[in-house]
Amino acid sequence: MACRISELVIDCADPERLAAFWSEVLGYAELGRDDDGSIEIGPPDAGFGGPQPTLVLSPSSVPRSGKLRLHIDVNATDRDQDAELERLLALGARPADVGQTGAEGWHVLADPEGNEFCLLRRRLPPL
């Protein structure tokens, strides 16, 4: 038997802000809060353990140093890449330069706390 990714934990300075951002990006809803200030978000109809992993935004005062060793890739489900890029920028994402050439088929963006993620070209069917 294999494992599944059930949740991704992101340390952040402002869990409220990132939970709001990623909820809008992914169509997620708040699933719960822990006493330590962590906020879990996930698919509103499936929650934890569904086909998509949940995100746990965990408060941390430790500043990030260096390049992320893991990043999130997202694909639009109901519009083309250009339209989704405009939507993500309007939500607070900003372009990020990690050494790309400009010929890539994806856009590198940063969330409101500077965590890089990529918007890929291929449209995926919604779950």
Tell me the pLDDT tens digit for each residue of 44-80.
998 888 899 999 999 999 988 877 888 999 999 999 9
pLDDT of residue 48: 84
pLDDT of residue 69: 83
Q: Would you say 67 and 98 are in contact if contact means Cβ atoms under 8 Å apart?
A: yes
Q: Residue 83: is it exposed, middle or buried by C-beta count within 10 angstroms (0-12/13-18/19+)? A: exposed
pLDDT of residue 103: 92
Pick the CATH number of 1-60 from 3.40.50.720, 3.20.20.70, 3.30.1900.10, 3.20.20.80: 3.30.1900.10
Q: Would you say 74 and 55 are in contact if contact means Cβ atoms under 8 Å apart?
A: no
Sketch the domain layout of the chain as residue ranges.
1-60, 69-127
Q: What is the pLDDT of residues 83-117, one digit of tens each?
A: 999 999 999 999 999 989 989 999 999 999 999 99
Secondary-structure class of domain 69-127 per CATH = alpha beta
